[in-house]
Every structure is written in structure tokens, then in C-alpha cells.
């Protein structure tokens, strides 16, 4: 067995899909003297219980770039690293209930076409043809993403890990990092197995990123702006009608997203997987009487299907065969959220030679692109794409924990909502004020705080 490494160019803290993808892409860029630390087994955080949906669609230019790259990478990854994966490219349909949503889809289609994606607008006839089990009487149309589908998150992570190892990178499992020290322009990462001296450090600790981030505060860092939300989805038992259609057609139905009702519905074997983003959502580990445990590896929250009742009924009305099957399994796990729902990917604010690749709400579909971007930041000091939307430096001192908690709850509950230009969402107001704020209010002006 190889000795524990005492030096490296880069140490990555966290063995989820984003951390492992970062290691893989660093190795592809020639930086093979890198070490990833995982306190448990790979994927033990949000990765293992993720649904594994893989859309390319986004209304963010930076996020669409990451997702587009990820899906192209995943299509050839099993062959590239010689590791089999379950990856189903089924296509997806996003439903629009009105003209405003159709306009949003048109904008996304334009962005996608510029990036080389084949997003298509759909009329009701086209929706019914691709998804025969759907009710379309109250819809305005939809959007089709032919590259969408689902992947096994654990297999994806292990494939990236194999590729990284084959190129010479190191992965240390069951090796929790315990802190960092800055010494003579280098970092010393302390672990349960010994210290590693390195040039650069990456915080890829998922929903533990805030705890890891605290280690960097003596060196100019700040509290990572994030909160942890409970995302719940369930898998039905086998649906005979769906099984018969799938066997006859030779493929699955497309992944369905009713974004105005706020849920996704995906075929899983011969059953369905329903995952809502409910308005009456729930955060965890936000209060003193609900502290984050030291280790939540491979654990879930208790089932709480009652709060999904409206979404389940709406989905059954949209796709009636959903109501013919019982619930087979419920998954209710932690997902990290930044205040705007986008990840923290880039240089750690105020800290030299330290980076963040964490707080990924949709880490599976973004993981491949995130690894590419992180490796570019580390190796070249800049990225191919404009990544300001995910740059951790977009947040300053106004983003305290109260703000992060309020915005996470708001963003989760409006995950599929339309974000109109200049619309001001109400949660977390008055955290960042103009120097003349009080004078404007006294003069009868409106509330302009962030």
C-alpha cells in the first residue's frame, strides 16, 4: 500500500462528484500531483442520494455552459476511462402554462442554439406524440431538450475517480481533513492520517463547505454563504401500462418537468420518479436546536410526504398513470443552497491560493463542467467562459447567515419560477443598503435594499 502523501500541488477537500471531477480535470491538464481527501467513502454526501437528472437547459449563460460540457463529457466517459455507467439520454419536455413561460423558453432556445444545443419549441401535438400519457388541455406548449436524461451519480463519480487515478492523481478515502495552516506561502492541510503541504487548496465539501470554510477565516476568509435544504422525491412501484409502452417502443418516455407547477417526473425502470420543489419547503441545521451532525454520510431525513400532497395530486392529474401505482421508495436528503441557488465556484474571497467548488444544488449535471472550470482557475488563473454568475466573490459581508437561510428557502420554493429582469424577490431585504438609504426613505422613497 502506498505511503500517505505529505506533499501535493493541490489538495481537494470533499469526495462528491464535483470534487472528484475537479481532480480528474486537474490531472487532464497535467497536474497529476494532486490529492483528494474524503472523510468517508466517495459520494457519501449529497451525491449518493441525488436523482441524477442531467438537463442542459438553464437561463444562466455560465450554468448552461457547464451543463452542456458535462453532458458531452458523460456520453464518452465510460469508454474513455473504461468504467461502465448507467446513463440514459431520454430527452426532456418542459411544460408551459402560459405565454410568459413560452417566452422564457424561446430565450433559452436562443442561448442554447448559440452554444450548439438543439433545444426545440413544442406545440401540444408534439408534446402528446412524445409523451402519450400526458393531459395537455390547459397547456400553451413546451420545450424539448434532446440531450436531457439521467445518470447514476455513484457510477459517474467512480468513473471520474478511476480516470483521475489512472492519470496519477491520489484519492484518500476515510481520511477526514481537520484544519488548515498557512506557512511560508504554502498550505498545510491537517488530516487524521497526517499533514499534507501543498500549493493550493479546494473546498469541495458540499453541505459541509461552511464548516471547512471556517478554517480559512484566520487567513482572510469569511463564513461561506449557504444553507441546507431538504429535497424529497419518491419512486413508484411498477406501472404495467408504462412497462408495456416502453417495451413496445424500445425506449423510455422523456423526462417531464412541469415548471409552473414545480416538479419533475421521470421514468425509473418501469415506474415513475416524482420530485417537487415545494413552496412549503423545509431547511435543516438552521437553528441551535437542530445542529448539523459531525457526520451525516449516507444518511437521509425522515419521510415527509404530507408537505408534497398538492404536487402529487397535480402530477397525477397531468399524468394519470402516476396515480395507479403505489409509492415504492422515498428519498429525503440534504442539498446545499447558496442565496441565489447557483454554486460557489472560483477563488475563495480574501484567501490566497484557495478555491471553492461547493454548494452545488444540481451537482450531477454541473459536475463535469465544474471540474473543468475549477481546474482552469487553479492552473491558468482564468476560465474559458464568463463564470461571474458562480464566482464566490459575488457575495460580500451583507450575505450573513440570516440572509443565506431566508434566500435558500425562497429560492428552493421558486426553483422553477420565472426570473423577470429587475424583479426584486422579497426575502432577505435591507441587508445591503446605500449610504443615503435612510435619507431616501425619509424623503418618501422606496425600499432599495438588497
d(CA 298, CA 427): 32
Q: Each residue of 350-363: pLDDT tens digit?
A: 999 999 999 999 99
d(CA 108, CA 106) in angstroms, rounded, equals 5
Grid coordinates 449516507 are at which residue?
298
And the C-alpha cell for 343? 454554486
Q: Considering the entire predicted model, what is its pTM? A: 0.94
Pairing verdict, β 7-13 and 271-276: unpaired
Quick one: 202 exposed, middle or buried, by C-beta within 10 A (0-12, 13-18, 19+)? buried
Q: Which of 372, 75, 401, 381 is nearest to 228 (CA)?
A: 401
290, part of any domain: no
Q: Where is 88: in which H helix or E strand? A: strand 87-88
Return all residues near 114 (Cβ < 8 A) that are at least 6 apart: none
Rounded to 10°, the helix 363-380/17-28 angle is 40
Tracing cell 475537479 back to the chain, one arrives at 22
DSSP state of 391: -
Percent of the chain with pLDDT over 90: 93
* Nearest partner of 2 among 170, 159, 164, 176, judged by Cα: 170
Q: Is 447 helix (H, G, I), strand (E, B) or coil?
A: coil
Report the C-alpha gap between 237 and 326 in whole angstroms.
6
CA dist., res. 90 & res. 131, Å (int): 11
What's the rounded mean pLDDT across residues 184-208? 97
User: Taking residues 183-199, what's their average pLDDT?
Assistant: 97
Using 50, 70 and 90 to split pLDDT, how confident is the model at 400?
A: very high
Q: Is residue 440 part of a domain?
A: no
Residues 229 and 425: their CA atoms lie apart, in Å, by: 19
Residues across the chain: 450
Mean pLDDT of 162-173: 98
**E strand segments, 288-411:** 327-337, 344-347, 354-358
Separation of alpha carbons 4 and 10, rounded Å: 15
CB 192 within 8 A of CB 370: no
205, HSE (Cβ side, Cα atoms, 13 Å): 25
DSSP code string of 172-195: E-S--EEEEEEETTEEEEEETTEE
122 within domain boundaries: no
Per the DSSP assignment, residues forming a β-bridge with 233 are 331
Q: 76-124, pLDDT tens digit by residue?
A: 999 999 999 999 999 999 999 999 999 999 999 999 999 999 999 999 9
Q: What is the pLDDT of residue 447?
A: 62
Residue 93 has a CB neighbour count (10 Å cut-off) of 22
Distance CA 364, CA 292 (A): 23
Segment 167-187 shows an average pLDDT of 97
∠ CA 355-358-361, rounded to 5°: 155
Radius of gyration of the chain (CA): 22
Q: Is residue 124 assigned to a domain?
A: no
Measured between alpha carbons, how far is residue 372 from residues 28, 60, 68, 174, 399 in Å? 9, 17, 12, 26, 27
Domain containing residue 164: 7-52+153-225+340-394
367 confidence band (pLDDT: 50, 70, 90)? very high
Q: Cβ distance 27 to 34 under 8 Å?
A: yes
Written as nine digits, the cell of 380 is 491558468
Give me the phi and psi of 404, to 5 degrees please. Answer: -60, -40
Whether residue 220 lies inside any domain: the answer is yes
Number of domains in the chain: 1
What's the pLDDT tens digit per position in 229-286? Answer: 999 999 999 999 999 999 999 999 999 999 999 999 999 999 999 999 999 999 999 9
Q: Is pLDDT of 365 > 70? A: yes
Q: Which helix (H) or strand (E) holds 103?
A: helix 99-114
Mean pLDDT of the chain: 95
> Contact, 387 vs 345, CB < 8 A?
yes
Q: Give the whole-angstrom CA distance, residue 46 versus residue 228.
A: 10
- Count CA within 13 A, CB hemisphere, residue 246: 16
* 328-347: average pLDDT: 96
Assess if residue 187 is contained within a domain.
yes
| Count of CA atoms in the C-beta half-sphere (13 A) of 444 | 0
Q: Is 192 part of any domain?
A: yes
Using DSSP's 3-state secondary structure scheme, residue 441 falls into helix
Cα(45)–Cα(30) distance, rounded to whole angstroms?
A: 28
Q: CATH no. for residue 15?
A: 3.50.50.60
Amino acid at each position: 500500500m502506498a505511503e500517505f502523501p505529505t506533499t501535493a500541488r493541490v489538495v481537494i477537500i470533499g469526495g462528491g462528484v464535483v470534487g472528484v471531477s475537479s481532480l480528474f480535470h486537474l490531472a487532464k491538464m497535467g497536474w497529476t500531483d494532486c490529492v483528494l481527501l474524503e472523510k468517508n467513502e466517495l459520494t457519501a454526501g449529497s451525491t449518493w442520494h441525488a436523482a441524477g437528472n442531467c438537463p442542459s437547459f438553464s437561463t444562466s449563460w455560465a450554468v448552461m455552459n457547464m451543463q452542456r460540457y458535462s453532458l458531452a463529457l458523460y456520453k464518452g466517459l465510460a469508454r474513455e476511462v473504461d468504467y461502465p455507467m448507467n446513463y440514459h439520454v431520454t430527452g426532456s419536455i418542459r411544460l408551459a402554462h402560459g405565454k410568459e413561460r413560452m417566452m422564457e423558453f424561446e430565450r433559452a432556445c436562443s442561448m442554447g442554439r448559440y452554444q450548439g444545443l438543439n433545444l426545440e419549441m413544442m406545440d401540444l401535438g408534439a408534446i402528446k406524440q412524445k409523451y402519450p400519457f400526458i393531459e395537455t388541455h390547459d397547456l400553451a406548449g413546451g420545450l424539448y431538450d434532446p440531450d436531457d436524461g439521467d445518470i447514476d451519480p455513484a457510477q459517474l463519480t467512480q468513473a471520474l475517480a478511476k480516470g483521475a487515478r489512472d492519470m496519477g492523481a491520489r484519492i484518500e478515502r476515510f481520511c477526514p481533513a481537520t484544519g488548515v495552516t498557512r506557512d511560508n506561502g504554502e498550505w498545510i492541510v491537517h488530516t487524521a492520517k497526517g499533514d499534507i503541504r501543498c500549493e493550493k487548496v479546494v473546498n469541495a465539501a458540499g453541505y459541509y463547505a461552511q464548516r471547512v470554510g471556517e478554517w480559512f477565516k484566520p487567513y482572510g476568509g469569511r463564513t461561506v454563504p449557504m444553507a441546507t435544504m431538504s429535497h424529497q422525491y419518491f419512486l413508484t412501484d411498477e406501472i404495467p401500462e408504462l412497462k408495456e409502452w416502453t417495451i413496445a417502443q424500445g425506449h423510455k418516455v422523456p423526462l417531464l418537468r412541469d415548471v409552473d407547477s414545480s416538479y419533475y417526473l421521470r421514468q425509473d425502470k418501469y415506474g415513475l420518479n416524482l420530485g417537487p420543489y415545494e413552496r412549503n419547503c423545509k431547511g435543516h441545521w438552521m437553528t441551535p436546536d437542530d445542529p448539523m451532525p459531525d457526520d451525516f454520510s449516507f444518511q437521509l431525513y425522515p419521510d415527509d410526504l404530507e408537505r408534497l400532497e398538492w404536487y402529487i395530486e397535480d402530477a397525477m392529474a397531468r399524468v394519470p398513470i402516476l396515480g395507479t401505482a403505489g409509492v415504492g421508495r422515498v428519498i429525503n436528503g440534504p442539498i446545499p443552497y447558496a442565496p441565489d441557488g447557483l454554486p460557489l465556484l472560483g477563488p475563495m474571497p480574501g484567501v490566497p491560493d484557495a478555491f471553492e467548488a461547493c454548494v452545488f444544488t444540481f451537482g450531477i449535471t454541473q459536475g463535469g463542467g465544474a471540474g473543468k472550470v475549477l481546474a482552469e482557475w487553479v492552473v491558468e488563473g482564468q476560465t474559458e467562459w464568463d463564470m461571474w454568475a458562480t464566482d464566490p466573490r459575488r457575495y460580500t459581508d451583507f450575505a450573513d447567515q440570516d440572509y443565506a437561510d431566508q434566500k435558500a428557502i425562497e429560492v428552493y420554493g421558486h426553483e422553477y419560477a420565472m426570473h423577470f429582469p429587475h424583479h426584486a424577490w422579497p426575502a432577505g431585504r435591507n441587508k445591503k443598503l446605500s449610504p443615503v438609504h435612510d435619507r431616501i426613505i425619509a424623503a418618501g422613497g422606496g425600499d432599495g435594499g438588497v
